Amino acid sequence: MRIFIDSADTEAIKRCWDTGLIDGCTTNPTLISKSGRDPRSVYDELAEMGVPDISMEVMGNAVEMQNEAMKLYTEYKEVATIKLPMCQDGLKVCKELSNLGIRTNVTLIFNAAQAILAAKAGANYVSPFVGRIDDQGYAGTEVVRSIVGLYQQQRVSTEVLAASIRTTQRLVRAFYSGATVVTIPPGVFWNSYQHVLTDVGLSIFEKDANG
Ligand code: G3P
């Protein structure tokens, strides 16, 4: 049961990382663009922090993605997970990287058929977008459950990394549905500490402890 932080805001990630409960990070071009930074300056800072698994997304055609992936792997070695879009070129590059033993994450997964192809391409992770499936009126966590069930039945080693998680409820349901990794924004991480009865109980304990 691993928790990744889905962000390119290194200050926010550092606060989460310092809790000792975080196992990795995922980024994407939108998150990098929101940070206003060059992707490599974000990856450098995360690698320096000690984050052991950083999803770094590559874009373009197959040749461009392959070239960028090889550069990223050369620079970041085993902390790099190359994130590829779910499309023909993305899976082609995924297969090549997988043959070289480079860790991969196929993103923008919305159904089990796509997850089958990504597994065939040797992906280490597939990222179903739970929140965006919810937005369409279907339960995103049911897609997680169907991919997990299918992989188990077929003895596929690809892991399901649930993404596009916007609430603590979806974090919990994603793990219940069998995801082995869930990536969450910092806000969802901090909300997971909270319960009103914990606050009430803590203040009673504090009062009683002090006589
Ligand atoms: O990991 C994917 C995530 O960043 C997308 O989230 O909320 O934009 O669907 P969202």
Tell the residue nearest (CA) to atom 7 of ligand 1.
164
Asked if residue 195 has pLDDT above 90, the reply is yes
Question: What is the maximum alpha-carbon separation in the chain?
Answer: 70
Q: Could you identify the atom of ligand 1 that is nearest to the CA of residue 163? A: 1
Q: What is the pLDDT of residue 211?
A: 84
- CA separation (Å) from 29 to 18, 33, 148? 25, 6, 27
Residue with tokens 């058929």: 113
Q: H-type helices in 18-167, by residue range?
A: 29-35, 39-49, 62-76, 88-99, 112-120, 130-135, 140-154
Asked if residue 93 has pLDDT above 90, the reply is yes
Rounded Cα distance between 132 and 128, Å, is 9
Residue 9 CB contacts under 8 Å (≥ 6 apart), including other chains: 31, 34, 35, 186
Residue at 82: amino acid letter: I
Asked if residue 179 has pLDDT above 90, the reply is yes
Give per-residue pLDDT as tens, 54-90: 999 999 999 999 999 999 999 999 999 999 999 999 9
Bridging pattern class, strands 159-162 and 80-85: unpaired
Rounded Cα distance between 167 and 48, Å, is 29
The response to whether residue 68 sits with its C-beta less than 6 Å from ligand 1 reads no
Rounded Cα distance between 99 and 144, Å, is 26
Rounded Cα distance between 134 and 98, Å, is 31
The 8-class DSSP code of residue 153 comes to H
Q: What is the pLDDT of residue 36?
A: 97
Rounded Cα distance between 137 and 46, Å, is 35
The response to whether residue 129 sits with its C-beta less than 6 Å from ligand 1 reads yes
Give per-residue pLDDT as tens, 118-136: 999 999 999 999 999 999 9
Reported confidence tier of residue 143, pLDDT bands at 50, 70, 90: very high
Q: Exposure of 46 by Cβ count < 10 A (0-12 exposed, 13-18 middle, 19+ buried)?
A: buried
Q: What is the pLDDT of residue 201?
A: 98
The response to whether residue 7 sits with its C-beta less than 6 Å from ligand 1 reads no
Among 14, 71, 83, 92, the one annotated catalytic: 83
Listed residue (148, 110, 151, 107) closest to 130, CA to CA: 110
Give the mean pLDDT of 154-171: 98
Tell the residue nearest (CA) to atom 10 of ligand 1.
164
* Residue 83 annotated among the catalytic residues of the structure: yes
DSSP element (H, E) containing 205: helix 196-209
The response to whether residue 166 sits with its C-beta less than 6 Å from ligand 1 reads yes
